[in-house]
Chain A
Amino acid sequence: MSIEDNGGLRVLAINILGRFLSNCDNNIRFISFSFITLMVATWIGQNQKIRLMVVEINLRGDGAERLRERGRAKAPE
């Protein structure tokens, strides 16, 4: 069984993860962050808020090594 996806669903998924990513607890941030790293790089680029959040976490350097290695988080233009 497969679930059909479209742009809207992707944005919704990213927004839901973004809620957790903006949580003040670093543990919840880490888990949502690791979920995001499982996603395709294009998913991150679709939502400006998420991009900013990922860049912020990247700068803080807490558990963001994998994302930095893969070059998924690039600063918004």
Chain B
Amino acid sequence: MINFVLLISRQGKVRLTKWYSPYSQKERSKVIRELSGMILSRAPKQCNFVEWRGHKVVYKRYASLYFCMCIDQDDNELEVLEMIHHFVEILDRYFGSVCELDLIFNFHKAYYILDEILIAGELQESSKKTVARLIAAQDSLVENAKEEASSFSNIIAQATK
């Protein structure tokens, strides 16, 4: 099971966090501080697995972002590396050559995508097409809601004149 997902930039700033195990706010900040220090200091030639607090942390660097997932001791590390790559590919398809700024300005969409892929720390959807279709449907729902809201506000504005 995946305990948490972290996206950390090269500067050590957290871009996305998702916790699937109960951690207090104090513990979370401590975990982020510890792991970012550990992972950012590792050489590129070293392997993508770190043993930490009885868990295994699998990380992969894409451009200026580190994608980290913490898994149980008996989980398969290579499978989790594939999960990270799967997530990155979906982000890349959705944003069209994704960059760090896309995740900063559209963080809510990154969370939507992550929620489509992982539920309760387990991989739920392995099809990229399915995820893309569901996210597109969600986007159209948001657009419809925005249109309805703007039409309501227009009606109210006209009524109050």
Tell whether B51 is near chain A: CB-to-CB under 8 Å: yes
Which of B46, B47, B48, B77 counts the most A-chain CB atoms under 10 A from its CB?
Answer: B47
Tell whether B113 is near chain A: CB-to-CB under 8 Å: no
User: 8 smallest A-B Cβ distances: which pairs?
Assistant: A26-B47, A30-B47, A27-B47, A62-B46, A30-B49, A27-B48, A62-B47, A63-B47
B51 touches A63 (CB 8 A): yes
Complex: A25 Cα to B26 Cα, angstroms: 37
Complex: A30 Cα to B49 Cα, angstroms: 8
A residues less than 8 Å from B81 (CB atoms): 27
A31 touches B78 (CB 8 A): yes
Which of under 10, 10 to 19, 20 to 34, or 35 or more describes the interface residues of A? under 10
Interface residues of B, dominant DSSP: mixed
One digit per residue, 1 when the CB lies within 8 angstroms of any chain B CB and 0 when it does not, for chain A 35-69 equals 00000000000000000000000000011000000
B residues less than 8 Å from A30 (CB atoms): 47, 49, 77
A31 touches B45 (CB 8 A): no
Q: Could you write out 12 A-B pairs with CB less than 8 Å apart?
A: A26-B46, A26-B48, A27-B48, A27-B77, A27-B78, A27-B81, A28-B78, A30-B49, A31-B77, A31-B78, A62-B46, A62-B47
Considering the complex, which residues of chain A in the window 19-35 have a beta carbon less than 8 Å from any beta carbon of chain B?
Answer: 26-31
Measured CB to CB, the closest approach of chain A to B38, in angstroms, equals 13
A residues less than 8 Å from B45 (CB atoms): 26, 62
